[in-house]
Structure formats: structure tokens, C-alpha cells
Structure 1
Amino acid sequence: MTNCIFCKIISGNEPAHIIYSDDEMIVFTNIKPAATYHFLVATRNHIENINSLNSSHIPLVERMARNGKRAIEQSGGI
């Protein structure tokens, strides 16, 4: 997706402060945080929107939540 900011960040075409990265996702800080620990989690495989999710994505979404929480814990939050 050429217009997707998350795809641009994942490909390295847009800068980001990456907190965590693996073969499925990245966790990075929000450029304009609204909270002390305001991180975003994006999948490496483009998912258009929440309506595009189906039951096959459940394990991925669970890992995204775990990795987001872990990033906050490792940054001193929670």
C-alpha cells in the first residue's frame, strides 16, 4: 500500500522510534503522543482496517496486544 503510513514505516521509508520488532509486527511510539506511553502496533502484512479482520487473525491480534503491553512494561509503564 503506497499511501499507508504504517506500511511506509515498516518498509523504512518513514522514520519511527521502534520499540519492538519481529517478523509479524512492529511497536513504535506515536509521533504526537496523547499519553506518556502512547505506542502503536502495526502488522507487517497490511490489513486494511478492523473490518478486514476475521477469526484467522485472532492469534495475531492476541500477540499484538501482548507485545504492546510488554513494550509499555519495558518502558516503565503499568
Structure 2
Amino acid sequence: MSDCIFCKIAAGDIPATLAYQDDQCVAFHDIQPKAPVHLLVIPRRHIASLLEVEAADAPLLGHLLAVAARLAREHGLTAGYKTQINTGHAGGQEVFHLHIHVLGQPQ
């Protein structure tokens, strides 16, 4: 989607402080962190929200969660962390490109 800021980050058109990237996803530091560690894990393919996810997307969602867990370990969140997916306006979603928040305090 041409006007999606997260699509532009995934494409490298807008700079971000990347924490991870592969052919399926990109992870970067949130520009308005709500915790000492606040990362966003996004699919490269535009999916507006969980409301658009279909059964065929299960492998991608599993990969996003595995990347979130890997990044949590790499950022010292071994005592625990929060993952969060906001869905829709009423669910607090502000950027309509599926993303997983990884939030925590390093130990």
C-alpha cells in the first residue's frame, strides 16, 4: 500500500532503527516507546489488521511471534515481556498495518 508508513519502512523508503529483518518481516524500535524496550514486528506484506488475517496466514503469524521472542531474548527481556496487537480503531490501532508490540524492561 503506497501511503502506509510501515510499508515504506519495510521497503527501506523511510528510515527506522532496525532490530531485525528477513524476507517476511521487519522489526524496529518504536519512535514513541512505552517501555525501555519497545519494538514493533511487522510483516513485509501489507495486512491492515488481524481482522484481515486468514488461515493461510498462520505460518506468517507464527514467524512474526518467533521473531518477537528472539528479539525479546536478544534485548534482555528474559524475566518476561508483553506482546500486544491492537486491532481496529476501538482496539487502539493507530497504524493500519498489522504489527506486534514487544515491550519490556531488560534484566
Letter of the structure 1 residue corresponding to residue 9 of structure 2 = I
Letter of the structure 2 residue corresponding to residue 23 of structure 1 = D
Letter of the structure 2 residue corresponding to residue 67 of structure 1 = V
Q: Distance in 2 between matches of 1:73 and 1:37?
A: 11
Write 1 or 2 for the structure with the bigger share of strand.
2
2:66 match: 66
C-alpha RMSD of the superposition: 1.0
Q: Distance in 1 between matches of 2:66 and 2:35?
A: 19
**5+ unaligned residues in a row in structure 1: which ranges?**
none
Letter of the structure 1 residue corresponding to residue 25 of structure 2 = M
1:19 match: 19
Percent of aligned pairs sharing the same letter: 35
Q: Distance in 2 between matches of 1:75 and 1:29?
A: 11
* Larger relative contact order (Cα-Cα within 8 Å, sequence gap ≥ 6): 2
Letter of the structure 2 residue corresponding to residue 30 of structure 1 = D
1:10 match: 10
1:76 match: 76
Q: Distance in 1 between matches of 2:47 and 2:25?
A: 11
Letter of the structure 1 residue corresponding to residue 75 of structure 2 = S
Q: Distance in 1 between matches of 2:50 and 2:36?
A: 25
2:53 match: 53
Q: Distance in 1 between matches of 2:53 and 2:14?
A: 25
**5+ unaligned residues in a row in structure 2: which ranges?**
79-107
Give the secondary structure class of the aligned counterpart of 2:37. Answer: coil
Q: Distance in 2 between matches of 1:37 and 1:59?
A: 26
2:86 match: none
**Structure 1 segments (4+ residues) deviating >3 Å:** none
Write 1 or 2 for the structure with the bigger share of helix.
1
Cα drift, residue 3 of structure 1: 1.4
